[in-house]
Amino acid sequence: MPGTGAGGFLGVALETVAGTYLAPTDYIPIKSESIHYMQETVWRRPIRQTASVYGSSDGNARVEGDMSMEAYEDIVAILLYAARTTPAKTGTASPGFTYTFTGNALAIPSRTLSITIVRNGIAMGYTGMVVGSFGFAIEDGLLTFTPTFMGRDEATQTVPTATWLTGIQRAAYGAGKYKIEIPTLTQVFDCDNFTFNVDDSPTAQYRLKDTSRGASFITYGERTTGLTVDRDFETRTDYDAFKLGTAQSVTLTATKGANNSIALTLPAAIKDTYEVGISGQGDLIRAAVAYMGTVDATGNDYTITVKTQKDIT
């Protein structure tokens, strides 16, 4: 008899050895997920006296998919350790930990994840998982985080017992908790939409071996970083800067406590598109602005600063 589907959950652990499964150390409340095992079966169709597929041969395999969750600062920091970032930690005691993540140009991630998903009482473990791209968005006042994963292989695991954090660490970032600065250090109050996206173009790399069909490792390619905002259009100042290709820093800071915040910064953003229109008589004039992240004088194209009560490393 099929189960009810209730009680599914997801856990993560930063792997000490890439591709070696670890039981979860942190459990994540999520909105949805689509992580799955991909096998590239080779369907054989040699020329012979049949028009049909003759058989199959084992092909390469990998894990991929994404998840959507409310943005919690400790979980965001854990997952960014497995992205194409260089982390820097300050603080030695709870609750004052600060993690600063900057994008780097390394082809291979420095950390990988084990991800455990329990679906209808059945545990599925995935190894060598990296964050290939991720995005933040504000949806109806709620800050969300959507990482996309690619991983090496799957490992069958037993169902773990989830331990859920409570209190401010699991409080959501909602309306009234945002500060938008365009440019950075100049707060604006005319935005009602914000997205922030980083795509590092991950690719599964396969090597000949006799241990498994899974990917040997995941590598990164070219990175695209950007953000979008919707603003009231009141003067031509920002529009003229768009026409001149002027770079500026843009920062969104979400705060729910002195030691619980997430700050997203593009230090040298250049406006890619700038759309202004009138849809009817008496309407507000709105501007939809998309920024492309470029490197600043230090070679940095984005920074994410996370303050959390959790000691991750």
pLDDT digits (tens, 9 = 90+) for 113-171: 999 999 989 999 999 999 999 999 999 999 999 999 999 999 988 999 999 999 999 99
Does some domain include residue 313? no
Does some domain include residue 56? no
Does some domain include residue 116? yes
Q: How far is CA 16 from the centre of its chain?
A: 21
For residues 286 and 179, give the distance between their C-alpha atoms in angstroms, rounded to a whole number: 20
Give CA separation, 174 vs 95, 161, 195, 255, 310, in Å: 21, 29, 15, 9, 21
Number of domains present in the structure of the chain: 1
Does some domain include residue 112? yes
Signed CA dihedral, 103, 109, 114, 117: sign only: positive
Report whether the peptide linkage leading into residue 95 is cis, meaning its omega lies within 30 degrees of zero. Answer: yes
Low-confidence ranges of the chain (pLDDT < 50): 1-3
Does some domain include residue 225? yes
- What is residue 1's predicted lDDT score, i.e. its pLDDT? 42
Does some domain include residue 49? no
- What is residue 7's predicted lDDT score, i.e. its pLDDT? 62
Percent of the chain clearing pLDDT 90 (strictly above) = 89
Does some domain include residue 54? no
148 lies in which domain range?
Answer: 9-36+65-308
Does some domain include residue 48? no
What the block records as the tokens of 128 is 């060598």
Q: What is the pTM of this model?
A: 0.94
- What is residue 8's predicted lDDT score, i.e. its pLDDT? 78
